[in-house]
Amino acid sequence: MDMNDAPYSDDGRGYFTEERKMIRDSARQFTMNEVLPIANQLDGPDAEIPDALKQKMADMGYFGIMIPEEYGGLGLGAFEYCLVAEQLARGWMSVASLMARGQGGWIRKAMSPEMQAEYLPRVMRGEFLNATSLSEPGTGSDLASISCRAERDGEDWVLTGSKYWCTFADGADYLTIFARTAPPPSSDKRWMGISCFMIEKERGSLPKGIAGSPIPKIGYFGWKTFELSFDGFRVPASHLIGEEGRGFLLMAKGLETARAHTAARSIGLAQGALEDAISYAQEREQFGMPIAEFQAIRFKIATMATEVEAARQLLYSVCNSIDTGARCDMEASMVKYFASEMAERVTSEAMQIFGGAGYTKLHAVERHWRDARLTKIFEGTSEIQQRIISDKILGKSLLDKIVADRAFDKKWGTDPNLGAAAE
């Protein structure tokens, strides 16, 4: 489908400028010419996003959209970042996710000026990309319950424990690791005592002291997702990012943009499935006419297009709030929740329009569907987003407090160091 025929809102409820339209359209062209063709060829568990494509993304400035101009970046905001992410995801969600391995990662704003001057120009050039390790076996979305430990030993921190769901661990130039440097002081302050570390490494391998094994998965191909284990791995004290014991706050500040980015990827997947379904419906004939003539198909497409556009407009609003500095943690959860749930519905309906053909590798729609299913899980599950939203509207649940207290007592109640975390 031609860009001009796609069901896009050109004005974006007043958010669009000529520059933003140019950025969107350029990303669209890049996706259709450079991303989509190889996505269809490389979809599979052993595939790797080509280095040549990574370099083209760097040349387009996609790894430095949010990096300040003084460090060679584009100096733009979450709005432009998500505009590009949506278009890249329309071709291949993994490539839209790769863009997030730039931008300076979770730690950019916590870097010292010296670190920013050293690292950010390399990020912009695609030479210093990250992989982040947050979750652990048994913690899932409950990031405040992580137990991977970091203990100070002279001029180093020594990391011991396991991490899960670290995508791009082998291909990254550095890892961002969140680990406990002290136990939490109480059940309502479980976030305290978590610190953030930057681990520089050789691209294509893991450092000695870190073992990793790929996790089998049904989609999100083009790179591998790892389980990591740390066995006395030493990190220089200078690579502690931000304040000791306050890494969770660093993480939380980055989640608004991260969740908007996931929403953008969800919308891109849904848009791709919608466009493919429209084209197929206009070409596929049954009973002597294109199936696009049948009301059942027409109404499906009408509903799909409406849901995509509704999610897109909510995303624009959230991105605008992020860029103006307004707190929008609830709204970021709303758009992540709404867009990811929408993406699963729309891609599923697109497969239904394709019929049996949609259940084959002959069309990209099944890939969009598999990847869309993941958006409901990462950056906090749909259920986590519902909890955040409801807590903002109704206040904290008493039941949640009881559960948290019991979990805290079970895990930390007998720890002799309890209360040692910095207040």
For 326, list phi and psi in degrees, rounded to 5: -75, 145
75 Cβ contact partners less than 8 Å away, ≥ 6 residues apart: 66, 67, 68, 69
DSSP single-letter state for residue 46: T
CA quadruple 308, 310, 313, 314: dihedral, nearest 10: -110
What's the gap between Cα 203 and its chain centre? 21
Alpha-carbon distance 377 to 217, whole Å?
13
Alpha-carbon distance 282 to 293, whole Å?
8
Which residue in 307, 303, 279 sits closest to 292, CA to CA? 279
The secondary element (H helix, E strand) that includes residue 73 is: none
Provide the H-helix boundaries in 60-199: 78-91, 93-98, 113-124
Backbone φ/ψ region at 418: left (φ over 0), alpha (ψ -120 to 50), beta: beta
* Residues paired with 149 in a beta bridge: 160, 180
Q: What Rg do the C-alpha atoms of the chain give, in angstroms? A: 22
DSSP 100-125: GG-TTGGGGGGS-HHHHHHHHHHHHT
Active site residues: 379
CA atoms within 13 A on the CB side of 76: 18
* Structural contact between residues 247 and 178, judged by C-beta atoms closer than 8 angstroms: yes
181 residue type, one letter: T
Alpha-carbon distance 61 to 84, whole Å?
11
Which tokens sit at 324? 């103006």
Number of other CB atoms surrounding residue 404 within 10 Å: 19
* Structural contact between residues 170 and 212, judged by C-beta atoms closer than 8 angstroms: yes
What's the gap between Cα 316 and its chain centre? 17
415 residue type, one letter: D
